[in-house]
Structure 1
């Protein structure tokens, strides 16, 4: 990898960029975390008590979710939001809104502000949900939040998944090395026991479904429908073949909190219509031994050390990533992923291979803050450039669904989280 020459930060002049953002008059609904137009950036959606936590509410509790995002069209739009109940597999439950919403079936977003002292202009929108006297979920389960323009649900801006739980089922978990000898150094095996409490389950093999996700990733999850055995109103999932996850590696990170005092990960800077940063090249970690590094398991945090209000005084920069690689595999694609883009593989975060540099290269438009990210490959080994280790600290979310007799929807009756911190190496 040829190292780029570091240059000094150039003086800043305000430049207003006239960029045309695509917007179709009618958007096809996707039951996923999805942005429908390219001007929507920096979407945050989490339980208001903990920044970047999983967006989950306890039914009939006073907890709230916080949603915020930027629109780079930088004008003031009339925006609304609503919610829709979904199945455990993220399809519509086909229930009437009156069956799962208490109060109004849509609400308007009144809180918006224009960016201040930024090269990249934007409008910042935010709201909390549910609000008193507005809409409130009446059923547990999966939900899709929709944000759209002018009260027209075909003019979608974004959708985000969230959960409502009743916590009727207790969950206990344990991380152990894989039962497969050749995976004991690389994998993390989970054992799960459910305590059904007062729920009367007639057929646990059909009525109970368990979904386990690693680091909030839909592409790294397992769906369980058959426990290994049943005892004393408990369901035990501890067979040798299931819940055996690649440990992966600790996430990489870049600190963009200040555009004045640049972090050591930034190698080169320039300013045109917006700031442009080139990062120091990331190493290929496939064959390297495990080394602990503090990370936030793919999360990102909007922060600004230059000005006071991170929401509207944080600027954007086009950030160029480099990943060292000698020879890419045939027909291989590599993506930069994290919670900031929901780990999705799109053209926006797809990298290209530069043989003259001996590296994969990718560009992302990012708001000031701290970003934890990783690389994923479409080759047979998704962790081709990261390596995989039993010792890696990962966060696992466990979701338990129950379909009661004579009902048409699945309830979310249990939720638990596990941070894997193995304190002994496998034998």
Structure 2
């Protein structure tokens, strides 16, 4: 069984708008690539950070226009419905400010501009905990993309235990998460309504489990020991490749070809559904930008056209996607593989850093 990384968060509920619309993230256009959203780590991930910790958003624009981009921040309730807080209540200063820090690529075949935004900064500081969305707009007011993040304070102690599923049908394929929540400073009054839980697997909000109710209380501790409601599919190890040297084949890369930019042709993958599980450490769907013989990978790492292929019979009742945090776990045409009847393979080309 593949034990994927899990995280749990506790939020205290103060108000709930009725029939409010749940916020959805907007995917980026084709010319924006390598969105890295993080806190104090080198890897991009759903940022979950303490109040006043640094938030970093980076991305590349491949249109070579040195465009101006602006950021807008919104606050949300635990269920991603708009909160009732006015902007001055959750933000010191101003948003809708231009991202001033950008640099152009250096010594690369693909020309791009690299943008970096850090919060807090001189214009913007967040004042309260909660769920947030940051949206990036161009100079014409058109929304380019948006990303969610969370800010918390240590008000409670959360214990988490990951176990095999208690359902014998899924004992080798699912993971069950037990939770306990306690605090020396808070009294949990009516916790079914005031305490909200979110369990994340691999920092992926698309598969999150929301709003489990405590099953019982021990003193001032809330206990959650569900059989099926807190279960995740364990899944398999993620496939991976390295193209940190775009001029030669690397791990998972069969050969390369230089055209207008470098093309990296990966080895054809095969389906693993009927094979025994094999432990192979990965980074749980994440990505990391590296480049050999480069001092600053932010502007010196090059882009390549990566050629994916999968040996799989053609299917008529579903689609196959290249899935991971590189595009925020989105499923859309930009990462959907296409059936090639000539080669008998599913194939896809993607421009990646």
Secondary structure of 1:290's partner? Answer: coil
Supply the distance in 2 between the matched residues of 1:356 and 1:264 (Cα, whole angstroms): 27
Does residue 123 in structure 1 map to residue 116 in structure 2? no
CA RMSD of aligned residues (A): 2.0
- 2:30 corresponds to which residue? 38
Contact 1:56/1:65, CA 8 A, preserved across alignment? no
**Which of residues 248, 253, 258 is equivalent to 1:266?**
253
Question: Among 148, 158, 162, which residue is 2:137 paired with?
Answer: 148
Kept after mapping to 2: 8 A contact 1:30/1:159: no
Q: Is 2:38 aligned against 1:52?
A: no
3-state DSSP class of the match of 1:43? strand
Q: Find the counterpart in structure 1 of residue 274 from structure 2.
A: 287
Q: Give the equivalent residue in structure 2 for 1:95.
A: 85
Q: How many residues align?
A: 333
Distance 2:279 2:48 in 1: 30
Partner SS, residue 348 of structure 1: helix
Q: Deviations over 1:53-109 (max 9, x none)?
A: 5412312x4x20111110111122222223110122223224211111012234332
5 Å-filtered alignment, 1:408-427, equals: none
Cα 1:57–1:185 change in 2 (3 A) is closer
Q: Report if aligned partners of 2:46, 2:148 keep a CA contact under 8 Å in 1.
A: no
Contact 2:133 2:149 survives alignment (8 Å): yes
- Could you list the runs of 5+ residues in structure 2 that have no partner in the other structure? 1-20
The question of whether the paired residues in 2 share the 8 Å contact of 1:282 and 1:323 is answered with: yes
TM-score scaled to structure 1, two decimals? 0.74
Q: Return the offset for 1:354.
A: 2.5
1:31 offset after TM fit, Å? 3.7
Greater mean alpha carbon deviation, residues 95-104 or residues 333-342: 95-104
Deviation of 1:49 after TM superposition, in Å, equals: 4.4
TM-score (norm 2): 0.88
> Is the partner of 2:72 in helix, strand or coil?
strand
Aligned to 1:114: 104
- Pick the aligned partner of 1:256 from 223, 243, 252: 243
Return the match for 1:179 from 166, 176, 179.
166
Confirm or deny: 8 A CA contact 1:229 1:237 kept in the other structure: yes
1:78 to 68, 71, 84: 68
Q: 1:50 Cα shift?
A: 4.5
User: What CA deviation, in whole Å up to 9, does each residue of 1:201-253 have, x standing for no partner?
Assistant: 32111111111111122232211331111121111110222211111011111
Cα distance in 1 for residues equivalent to 2:27 and 2:318: 26
List runs of 5+ in structure 1 lacking aligned partners.
Answer: 1-28, 368-427
Q: Alignment partner of 1:301: what SS?
A: coil
Whether the aligned pair in 2 keeps the contact of 1:33 and 1:342 (CA below 8 Å) is: no
Deviation at 1:182, TM superposition (A): 1.4
Is contact 1:72-1:122 (8 Å) kept? Answer: yes
- Secondary structure in 2 matching 1:360: strand
- Contact 1:143-1:163 within 8 A present in 2 as well: yes
Comparing 89-98 and 117-126, the one that deviates more: 89-98
- Whether 2:208 is the aligned partner of 1:221: answer yes
1:180 to partner: Cα distance: 1.0
- The residue number in structure 2 matching 1:303 is 290
What SS does structure 2 have at the residue aligned with 1:340?
helix
- 1:97 touches 1:105 (CA, 8 Å); kept in 2? no
